[in-house]
């Protein structure tokens, strides 16, 4: 298949008029390409961007990656992600019991090996269980525990080494040693943390390369006490942001973009099972939460993830004043780099997987190409 005459966001993340040649599951070439009429998809007047990469999403359409999910349920999730512009995702498992965490890891690993119909599973993100009780957010306090490198390495083994990211609080006893060892296996993030500046700087020096949903569920940035947020912003690590217009004010999004640029700032959905579902009552790691007007909260008012898609986050950012090139970059190659999967996805680059979004001039999704094939939208 050859996509002709589109405005393409190339691998330098600059829009240019170009064609894209796809061979099997892979992007073969990008540029001016001649071809016979029978294998051309005319994209005149269309915008083409890379398929999005969501490295922090718990679930959607009633399912959560921490559940005891069947392969069919995971496949249905992947279809929802795909039809909403996410073509690769890290199945994110929140704090849970050791037994349920292990079962969830095995289920995700099995689905990844068997293959899914929609968005590719890029691996697993363990969001917890090594978090601060004070800043637990919507994590189940009964499942929080101190960092355990043996537990983590066993999960890596059981997942066939598909864990790409683990988030933890760096001030916990044993956390620094854990970070030094875990960072040899996957990317390590700090979040749900009561850390001061010095502890966070130490964690970064030992291997932390990502901040989990920056500003949310952590000791606040203060002009006389910069804390973990200040350490992250003052370093060179990646910083996640939930760009739903609810978790983070749009002015802060613009300020952070000016400070971090699209090289370090990245968007996540942090979506929970209520994404793609109506307002109502749901659960997160056995904690009840409610969704009203699309906002998810625990019974005590604590924010409990989001109900948006990553594509919506990118479009929101554009409406907040972020250039489209950067908005899509922060939802594709930057998150892919943050968890080490950028060699296979995240940009329109020859040799990478052919995951592509075809948009209209108003940034609405018209077609989705996953692994070189047009994704057929439909019921999930």
Q: How far apart are CA 308 and CA 120, in angstroms?
A: 19
Distance of CA 275 to the CA centre of its chain: 14
Please, which residues have CB within 8 angstroms of residue 303's CB and are 6 or more apart in sequence?
137, 138, 216, 246, 247, 295, 296, 297
Give pairs for 171-176: CB < 8 Å, separation 24+. 171/132, 171/195, 171/196, 171/199, 172/130, 172/131, 172/132, 172/146, 172/147, 173/146, 173/147, 174/146, 174/147, 174/148, 175/130, 175/147, 175/203, 176/202, 176/203, 176/206
CB 339 within 8 A of CB 188: no
Q: How many residues are listed for the chain in this entry?
A: 380
Burial class (CB in 10 A: 0-12, 13-18, 19+), 276: buried
Of 333, 131, 126, 349, nearest to 238 by C-alpha is 333
Q: Are strands 47-50 and 265-268 parallel, antiparallel or unpaired?
A: unpaired
Q: Which residue blocks in the chain are alpha helix, DSSP H?
A: 71-83, 98-114, 149-158, 175-182, 197-206, 227-233, 250-264, 310-320, 324-329, 333-338
Please tell me which residue in 67, 270, 342, 355 is annotated as part of the active site. Answer: 270
CB 290 within 8 A of CB 226: no
Q: How far apart are CA 248 and CA 253, in angstroms?
A: 7
Is 270 labeled as catalytic in the residue annotation? yes
Q: Are strands 40-42 and 287-292 parallel, antiparallel or unpaired?
A: unpaired
Report in angstroms the alpha-carbon separations of 7 from 20, 146, 359, 361.
Answer: 11, 50, 10, 10
Q: How far apart are CA 310 and CA 300, in angstroms?
A: 26
Active site residues: 270
């Amino acid at each position: 298949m050859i996509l002709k005459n589109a405005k393409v966001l190339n691998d330098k993340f600059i829009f240019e008029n170009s064609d894209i040649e796809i061979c099997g599951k892979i992007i073969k070439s990008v540029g001016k390409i001649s071809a016979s009429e029978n294998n051309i998809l005319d994209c005149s007047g269309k915008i083409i961007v890379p398929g999005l990469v969501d490295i922090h999403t718990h679930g959607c359409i009633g399912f959560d990656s921490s559940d005891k999910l069947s392969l069919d349920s995971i496949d249905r999730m992947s279809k929802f992600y795909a039809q909403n512009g996410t073509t690769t995702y890290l199945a994110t498992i929140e704090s849970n019991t050791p037994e349920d965490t292990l079962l969830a890891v095995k289920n995700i690993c099995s689905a990844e090996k068997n293959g899914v119909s929609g968005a590719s599973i890029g691996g697993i993100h363990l969001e917890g269980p090594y978090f601060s009780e004070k800043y637990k957010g919507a994590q189940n306090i009964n499942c929080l525990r101190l960092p355990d490198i043996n537990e983590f390495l066993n999960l890596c083994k059981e997942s066939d080494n598909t864990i790409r990211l683990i988030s933890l609080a760096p001030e916990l006893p044993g956390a620094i040693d854990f970070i030094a060892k875990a960072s040899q296996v996957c990317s390590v993030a700090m979040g749900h943390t009561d850390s001061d500046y010095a502890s966070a700087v130490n964690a970064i020096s030992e291997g932390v390369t990502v901040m989990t949903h920056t500003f949310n569920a952590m000791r606040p940035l203060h002009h006389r006490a910069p804390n973990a947020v200040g350490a992250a912003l003052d370093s060179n690590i990646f910083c996640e942001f939930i760009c739903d217009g609810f978790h983070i004010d749009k002015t802060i999004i613009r300020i952070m973009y000016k400070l971090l640029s699209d090289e370090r700032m990245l968007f996540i959905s942090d979506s929970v099972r209520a994404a793609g579902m109506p307002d109502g009552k749901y659960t997160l790691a056995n904690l009840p939460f409610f969704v009203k007007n699309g906002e998810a909260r625990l019974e005590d008012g604590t924010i409990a993830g989001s109900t948006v898609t990553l594509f919506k986050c990118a479009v929101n950012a554009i409406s907040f004043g972020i250039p489209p090139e950067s908005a899509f970059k922060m939802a594709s190659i930057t998150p892919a780099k943050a968890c080490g999967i950028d060699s296979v996805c995240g940009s329109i680059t020859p040799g990478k997987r052919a995951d592509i979004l075809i948009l209209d001039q108003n940034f609405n999704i018209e077609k989705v190409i996953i692994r070189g094939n047009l994704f057929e939208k439909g019921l999930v």
